[in-house]
């Protein structure tokens, strides 16, 4: 897609500095961009690349003040990250057209009573079982499995290898990336007198509300009873596990390799860094922010806290404690020297 700087500026409601006829065909990273590329700068650490980039157009914040000449045409916007997200969505639509040629592949296995909305496509070797309803303008890519009595809303994308098990519900504008598994059994086993384990059947489901995005190879388990629920706007990275009967509040996000144990309630606008572990049967208050590789073993009751460590506690307290921890060998050496001097003083008295 060729687009001029003038057209981009109008599209983004930005301010143009440079050649309005500069043309770009694709987005690229600022350190790798070449002629015909659109790059962006939103992190001060990458500012040196602004003066060396070969990009034709550079997207920057209105507050950016260059300290050296910039060869690229600048488009200034209020928020680079939001503008970039808007543009990348446009590029993505070109690469993955949502139902551009709506059709059900003759190599797909779709039960006769499945309801399919207008503009929805189903790719080769996908399976859709009885009682399922798929809304309008959805794209079901090849090799997707959708079980019995599933409900999928409008404008959804299910990428190759996605599995949605029976009775699960997916809202509007949801995206499930490759090999995500929605509605597998939760991890439930009852100990027996002979030391074996008896499986506890899981007869609930998973409910994804509207505007939810699930990363590749992420697993969201069905509830034992009731529903595992992800509310509107939840965004989940790759390789995340959400156990049975978990509830995740609106607009919460989780980075890769987060694990949330069963029956935990996560509030709204919560941010969980990569490899965070959350114990079961606890609650996490709205606005909680947890640093990567932290562990939450008990309920977080006060909202908008920043936590770090395992078990996690206040972020700033953790940083101060970690500084001391790194210096423990030197502190131990000083303590021993002081103890030696005290013994010498005492022996002279």
Which three-class secondary structure state does DSSP give residue 232? Answer: coil
Task: Say if CB 28 and CB 38 are below 8 A apart.
Answer: yes
Containing 331, the helix (H) or strand (E) segment is helix 328-348
Is-contact 35 54, C-beta < 8 A?
yes
Classify 47 as helix, strand or coil: helix
Q: Which residues contact 268 (CB under 8 A, 6 or more apart)?
A: 231, 249, 250, 251, 252, 286, 287
Of the candidates 165, 177, 202, 244, the residue annotated as catalytic is: 244
β partners of residue 300: 284
At residue 266, the 3 state secondary structure works out as strand
Are the beta carbons of 181 and 220 closer than 8 angstroms? yes
- Range 103-135 burial, b when 16+ CB lie within 10 A, else e: ebeeebebeeebebbebbbbbeebbbbebbbbb
∠130-136-141 over CA atoms, to 5°?
Answer: 70
Distance CA(190)–CA(176), nearest Å, equals: 32
**Beta-bridge partner residues of 253:** 235, 271
Q: CB neighbours of 252 closer than 8 A, spacing ≥ 6?
A: 231, 234, 235, 266, 267, 268, 269, 270, 271, 272
Our answer to whether residue 241 is catalytic in this structure is no
Give catalytic residue positions.
Answer: 244
């Amino acid at each position: 897609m060729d687009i001029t700087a003038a057209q981009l500026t109008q599209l983004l409601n930005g301010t143009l500095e440079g050649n309005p006829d500069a043309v770009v065909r694709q987005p690229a990273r600022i350190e790798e961009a070449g002629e015909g590329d659109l790059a962006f700068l939103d992190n001060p650490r990458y500012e040196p690349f602004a003066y060396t980039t070969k990009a034709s157009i550079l997207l920057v914040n209105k507050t950016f003040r260059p300290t050296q000449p910039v060869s690229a045409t600048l488009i200034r916007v209020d928020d680079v990250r939001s503008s970039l997200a808007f543009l990348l969505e446009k590029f993505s639509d070109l690469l993955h057209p949502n139902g551009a040629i709506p059709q059900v592949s003759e190599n797909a296995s779709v039960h006769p009573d499945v309801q399919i909305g207008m503009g929805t496509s189903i790719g080769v070797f996908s399976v859709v079982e009885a009682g399922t309803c798929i809304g309008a303008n959805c794209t079901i890519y090849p090799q997707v499995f959708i079980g019995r009595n599933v409900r999928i809303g409008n404008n959804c994308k299910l990428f190759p290898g996605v599995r949605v098990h029976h009775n699960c519900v997916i809202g509007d504008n949801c995206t499930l990336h490759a090999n995500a598994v929605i509605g597998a059994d939760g991890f439930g086993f009852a100990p027996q007198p002979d030391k074996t384990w008896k499986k506890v059947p899981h007869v609930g489901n998973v409910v994804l509300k509207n505007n939810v995005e699930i990363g590749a190879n992420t697993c969201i388990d069905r509830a034992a009873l009731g529903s595992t629920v992800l509310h509107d706007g939840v965004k989940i990275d790759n390789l995340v596990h959400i156990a049975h009967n978990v509830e995740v509040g609106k607009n919460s996000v989780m980075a890769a390799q987060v694990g949330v144990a069963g029956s935990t309630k996560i509030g709204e606008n919560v941010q969980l860094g990569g490899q965070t572990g959350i114990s079961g049967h606890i609650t996490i208050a709205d606005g909680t922010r947890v640093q990567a590789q932290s562990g939450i073993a008990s309920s977080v009751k006060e909202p908008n806290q920043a936590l770090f460590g395992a078990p996690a506690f206040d972020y700033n307290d953790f940083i101060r404690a970690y500084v001391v921890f790194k210096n423990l060998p030197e502190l131990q050496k000083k303590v021993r020297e002081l103890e030696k001097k005290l013994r010498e003083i005492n022996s002279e008295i």
